[in-house]
Amino acid sequence: MRAIKSLTYKSPFNDKELKVVACRDSYYMTLTQMGRLFDCSVREIYTVLKSLFKSKELEENFVNKAIEIQNFDNRYIIGNFYNLDAIIAVGYRLNPKEATHFHIWSTRMLKTDISKVGTKEEGIIQSIRRKFSHMLSVA
Query: What residue ranges do the domains of the chain occupy?
Result: 5-138
97-106: list long-range contacts, CB under 8 Å, 24+ apart: 97/13, 98/11, 98/13, 98/37, 98/38, 98/39, 99/38, 101/11, 101/12, 101/13, 102/9, 102/37, 105/9, 106/9, 106/20, 106/27
Q: What is the mean pLDDT of the chain?
A: 81
pTM: 0.73
Query: Which of the four pLDDT bands, split at 50, 70 and 90, describes residue 32?
Result: very high
Distance, in Å, from the CA atom of 24 to the CA atom of 77, rounded to the nearest integer, reads 19
**Of the listed ranges 25-34, 47-56, 117-126, the one predicted with least confidence:** 117-126
Rg (CA), the chain: 20
Q: Which residues on neighbouring strands pair with residue 70, listed in sequence order?
A: 76
Strand pairing report for 76-83 and 26-29: antiparallel
Q: Which residues on neighbouring strands pair with residue 55, listed in sequence order?
A: none
The arithmetic mean of pLDDT across residues 68-95, rounded, is 83
The arithmetic mean of pLDDT across residues 89-93, rounded, is 97
Query: Which of the four pLDDT bands, split at 50, 70 and 90, describes residue 21?
Result: confident
